[in-house]
Amino acid sequence: MSSTGSATGIGAPVRRKEDQRFITGKGRYTDDINRPGQTYAAFVRSPHAHANIKRIDTTAALNRPGCIAVFTGEDIARDKVGALFCGWMITSKDGSPMKAGTHPVLALGKVRYVGDHVALVVAETPAQAKDAAEAVSVEYEPLPAVADLATAQSPGQPQVQADAPNNTVYQWHLGDKAAVEAAFAQARHVTKIHLTNNRLIPNAIEPRAAIAEYDSGQDSFTLYTTSQNPHVIRLCLSAFIGIAPEHKLRVIAPDVGGGFGSKIFLYAEETASIWAAKKVGRAIKWTAERSESFLADAHGRDHMTTAELAVDGNGRILAMRVKTKANLGAYLSTFASSVPTYLYAPLLSGQYAIPAIYCEVDGVYTNTAPVDAYRGAGRPEATFVVERLVEVAARQTGHDPAEFRRKNFIQSFPHQTPVIMTYDAGNYAACLDKALELADYRGLSLRKAASERKGLKRGIGFSAYIEACGIAPSQAVGSLGAGVGLWESAEVRVNPTGSVEVLTGSHSHGQGHETTFAQLVSQRLGIPIEQVTVVHGDTDKVQFGMGTYGSRSGAVGMTAVYKAIDKVVVKAKKVAGFVLEVPEESVDFDEGIFSSKATNKTLTFPEIALQAYIAHKFTGAQLEPGLKEGAFHDPTNFTFPSGVHVCEVEIDPDTGTTRIDRWTAVDDFGTVVNPMIVEGQVHGGVAQGVGQALLENAHYDKTTGQLVTASFMDYAMPHAHDLPSIQIAMSSTPCPSNPLGIKGCGEAGAIAAPAAVINAITDALGHEDIAMPATPQAVWRAAQKSPARLAAE
Amino acid sequence: MYAFEYLRAESLADAAKQLASKPDAKLLAGGHTLLPTMKLRLASPGALVDLGRVAELKGIDKSGNALVIGAMTTHAEAADSAVVKSSIPGLATLAGGIGDPHVRHRGTIGGSVANNDPSADYPAALMALDATIATNRREIKADAFFKGLFATALQDGEIITRISFPVPTKFAYAKFPNPASRYALVGVAVAQTAGAARVAVTGAGNNGVFRHAAMEAALGKAWSAAALNGIAADAKDMVSDIHGDAAYRAHLVGVMARRAVAAT
């Protein structure tokens, strides 16, 4: 027996199995795949934010060399193909359903944002497809556009969707308004802040891509696509779009180069391509250019919020009141409606015992790209509200910000918040203590003085975040409007020689499931990790699954594997009973060895696997041959990762440059399967959070609706030199709602970081008047203002 | 990218001939502006004349009191050159701060100067150092060469061959990079020669690279960062965009100028 448990099991920093192929260029991404007779797609996109389409003339395009076909929205409509849709129904506070609007796959008479899909051109080569797309003549009647969230709901603004007066998708609320008002009336102190949660463009390294194929012999479709959840894509294309029944539609999401949420959704490009594949009778490949990714990938965040915190004379939080406008773009993307509602407001209690919370959210249409889930999805927005509010309240009431947090921490579990969630486990003070020590909080004043001597301003910022991961209990999300259940499935197939294939409905697009899932199997079955293969991302191989987002693959996906392993062990013990000639109940299985007190003989896992398949030691009447088990796991609760991140910045007031000098992350992810991978997730998350805080901003011109930041020349992604060395530590409490104790780690950094950075910058500046992104220009201007805390309102 | 004809020049004369042979031909040096522009279909030259193999355009030499850099010298070659480092060390530093390693190993001084991107680094150095741009036809002083946004004194068919920099007593360049593109949001080059001080600003001016007379006068009297206190640029001459408005850029011109002087 080679590597087992300790070397490659849960908790071991195993090097990623998949990296051999990724770093040697052997990864197989959608664009690496080519199908016989393949053609290429290009999309005609709207140059206008808002316009009527008067006429589309495809004659010249069809005459271009290599052009095979041009399809418009009317062609698709004629085929009675369904429209794109949003799968989560949100009900307004007046009881009315959200105004879901229309979302045709290709525009029907109207375009609603720059980059909107007008026509699909199919040609023999990518260049010919682009040439023909340019030759499609579209006569637009430009309309006034609404691209400013602040004013989009005002009377008289252009209407984005006909069924949504004042561009309002819904007016939703959560919490006890009366209790909150009563608490504010009694408060000694009220802190009120206005926040912008800036709009982001996800920018996965691999752009979206698709290959759509129709087999007339089988009357079946195959779609290769850059998806985080191929089964969900198949379900949508079958049940809602009507492309084909599920058994006639195979969706493959091969290696995927990053998603961050943007590859959860069903987009127009793959939908139009799979429909067109049958029309042209050949495979169609589409690969987004980076410019198209900027324009037409679902964007993230984009909130405007007013938030208030009521505090008593002892520095205890009494209540919170939040009012948010959330920009949802021109159409509702697949899960757009849920992000600023049920993925946002239920997290507003943070790590704090807050007796009463009331939150109102307006979902708003604008003539901009659809906005949907992006790393953290609602939870970064909530944490930014909570941790800015708490920080400002501490400063205004004269409390040390760390101690103000500690004073208000939830102390015992389970804890029912006033906003749906029941936190099951955590130790917030332990994380804070460790963070204060690692960040050398005591030495801060000396470091501040040293910076001052250099003409620089130093500040420290805390972010004590919480998130809800392990998405999600199906019954709970169903009661909140979700159109699907959010369980996960797994199948564990043991081969006769004892190697194992794990089929999972989770999807790895950077998370390292091929390693971490194999670690679980290695530990449970006592076999070398090399003997385990993880299969995912193909609806013909994996029966069903809900995919990967919301840090769910460990807590939900691996638990499904865990349950399937349980069943494998039960069956294997039965086999062992026959082979060892002992009662099944007396068989023990530990570290890969089957034994029994009733005999001196032992058997290894591969020996039992072989016995299960040769079936010589038992009759068919006694036991079925083979060793293969499946399980579905539906979680009983969300998981609640938490932690404290501490950011220390040094600002050059002459230029406005913010340098992050120190970063301390103390996280409670529950059980850590692979600490190396988890640290990588923290690094990536912090990088994206720092990007949001300091650099990134999707900027639309308010009048024209043109995307100004439509390339990396203007959209500032974080570079390596923008980031500090990150000190990471764990302070874990196991999650009680799954057998592995896993909470999830994929989004934590992105959730924690923005508030930590802005709290540090405002500490350095001595006032609160700075918005994200805190660019050099913004910080320079803020540094001109005299330090003065916002007066309590 | 639209289809185009690729032509490779074997000599300077060959390059001139090929360039003249096609009405819509363009020279290809490092291609780090031209090729992305073509990929975005914003430029569609019918032919490209690749200068990559023209030996006459390469090399770095000291000639009398001048540092001479061939037009096809890459930024990485200039940054690593012992000759550049010993004669004008601040110029080597400037070259080593252009773009990223990929850009520095393809992009060339001749390409940068010919393109005269208003946010490029080299034009400020050429102006501050009173450099001379040699072409296949003539020599042009930097002051007369740069003529606004992406505009130069180059005529049709004219090919930059080398840049000649009189070695100054002091030179430095301080850049404040655009957070997104890393081009200069503001870059200031300062040079001291036996006779005078010269200051050139890139990235900021709404008519491209320019010399700053007030700063030159102040530094002519006293070469110190303090001599520049209170001198900025006029905001009305500055570019305004989402990364920096005119007031911010005008302020940064002063900051970067003082930092450049302090670095000499």
CATH of the domain at A224: 3.90.1170.50
Q: Determine, yes or no, domain membership for A153.
A: no
CB A261 within 8 A of CB A374: yes
Mark whether A421 and A333 lie in a shared domain: yes
Q: pLDDT tens-digit profile of A741-767?
A: 999 999 999 999 999 999 999 999 999
pLDDT in tens, chain B (264 residues): 899 999 999 999 999 999 999 989 999 999 999 999 999 999 999 999 999 999 999 999 999 999 999 999 999 999 999 999 999 999 999 999 999 999 999 999 999 999 999 999 999 999 999 999 999 999 999 999 999 999 999 999 999 999 999 999 999 999 999 999 999 999 999 999 887 999 999 999 999 999 999 999 999 999 999 999 999 899 999 999 999 999 999 999 999 999 999 999
Domain holding A217, by residue range, is: 38-85+101-143+205-258+263-296
Question: DSSP secondary-structure letter at B154?
Answer: P
Q: Does A60 touch chain B (CB under 8 A)?
A: no
Which residues from B are below 8 Å from A when comparing CB atoms? 1-3, 40-41, 176, 179-182, 242-245, 248, 251-252, 255
- DSSP, residue by residue, A356-367: EEEEEEEEEE-S
Gap between the terminal Cα atoms of chain B = 44
Q: Which residue of B has its CA nearest to A291?
A: B40
Mark whether A615 and A718 lie in a shared domain: no
Dihedral sign computed on CA atoms, order A399, A400, A403, A408: positive
Angular region, A732: left φ>0, alpha ψ -120 to 50, beta rest: beta
Mark whether A627 and A649 lie in a shared domain: no
pLDDT of residue A256: 97
H-only helix segments in A209-307: 230-235, 268-280, 290-296
Q: Determine, yes or no, domain membership for A159.
A: no
- DSSP, residue by residue, A733-760: ---TTSTT-B---SSHHHHHHHHHHHHH
Question: Pairing relation of β-strands A67-72 and A532-535?
Answer: unpaired
Q: Does A130 touch chain B (CB under 8 A)?
A: yes
Q: Determine, yes or no, domain membership for A158.
A: no
Mark whether A641 and A620 lie in a shared domain: no
CB A392 within 8 A of CB A329: no
Q: Does A713 touch chain B (CB under 8 A)?
A: yes
Question: Pairing relation of β-strands A317-329 and A356-365?
Answer: parallel
pLDDT of residue B195: 79
Mark whether A413 and A516 lie in a shared domain: no
Q: Determine, yes or no, domain membership for A32.
A: no
Q: Are A654 and B3 an interchain contact pair (Cβ–Cβ within 8 Å)? A: no
Q: Are B181 and A655 an interchain contact pair (Cβ–Cβ within 8 Å)? A: no
Length of chain A: 793
Q: How far is CA B238 from CA A30, A714, A725, B245, in A?
A: 46, 18, 36, 8
Give A740 to chain B, closest Cα distance, Å.
Answer: 42
Instruction: Give the CATH number of the domain where residue A525 resides.
Output: 3.30.365.10
Q: Determine, yes or no, domain membership for A568.
A: yes
Any idea which architecture B56-166 has in CATH?
A: 2-Layer Sandwich (3.30)
Mark whether A394 and A468 lie in a shared domain: yes
Say if residue A747 is exposed, middle or buried (CB neighbours under 10 Å; 0-12, 13-18, 19+).
buried
CB A690 within 8 A of CB A176: no
Q: Determine, yes or no, domain membership for A611.
A: yes
Q: Does A714 touch chain B (CB under 8 A)?
A: yes
User: Cα–Cα–Cα angle for A109, A115, A119, nearest 5°?
Assistant: 50
pLDDT of residue A792: 38
Location of structure tokens 């809900």: A546
Mark whether A105 and A45 lie in a shared domain: yes
pLDDT of residue A793: 36
Percent of chain A clearing pLDDT 70 (strictly above): 98
pLDDT of residue A787: 75
Mark whether A468 and A607 lie in a shared domain: no
Gap between the terminal Cα atoms of chain A = 68
- Band of residue A7 on the pLDDT scale cut at 50, 70, 90: confident
Query: Class of the B5-50 domain?
Result: alpha beta
Instruction: Tally C-beta pairs within 8 A across A and B.
Output: 43
- Decide if pLDDT at A5 tops 50: no
Q: Are A777 and B255 an interchain contact pair (Cβ–Cβ within 8 Å)? A: no
Mark whether A507 and A402 lie in a shared domain: no
Q: How much is the average pLDDT of A560-565?
A: 98
Mark whether A591 and A659 lie in a shared domain: no
Q: Which residue of B has its CA nearest to A653?
A: B255
Q: Are B179 and A780 an interchain contact pair (Cβ–Cβ within 8 Å)? A: no
Q: pLDDT tens-digit profile of A762-785?
A: 999 999 999 999 999 999 999 998
- Decide if pLDDT at A791 tops 60: no
Choose the closest CB to A655 out of B3, B40, B252: B252
A596 contacts: CB under 8 Å, gap ≥ 6: A576, A577, A580, A582, A583, A586, A587, A588
- What is the residue extent of each domain of chain B? 5-50, 56-166, 170-262
Q: Mutate which of A655, A707, A721 to disrupt the B interface (most B C-beta within 10 Å)?
A: A655
Q: Are A130 and B41 an interchain contact pair (Cβ–Cβ within 8 Å)? A: yes
Q: Of B51, B50, B68, which is closest to residue B59 (Cα–Cα)?
A: B68
Q: State the total domains in chain A.
A: 3
Mark whether A380 and A455 lie in a shared domain: yes
Q: Does A139 touch chain B (CB under 8 A)?
A: no
CB A596 within 8 A of CB A582: yes
pLDDT of residue A502: 98
pLDDT of residue A2: 37
pLDDT of residue A325: 98
- Decide if pLDDT at A273 tops 70: yes
Show residues of chain A in contact with B245, CB under 8 Å. Answer: 777
Show residues of chain B in contact with A131, CB under 8 Å. Answer: 2
Q: Determine, yes or no, domain membership for A740.
A: yes
Name the average pLDDT for chain A: 96
pLDDT of residue B126: 98
Choose the closest CB to B243 out of A654, A719, A777: A777
H or E element that contains A374: none
Mark whether A527 and A404 lie in a shared domain: no
Q: Of A566, A641, A563, A576, which is closest to residue A610 (Cα–Cα)?
A: A576
Could you give the ipTM of this predicted complex?
0.96
| CATH of region B170-262 | 3.30.390.50
Q: Determine, yes or no, domain membership for A188.
A: no
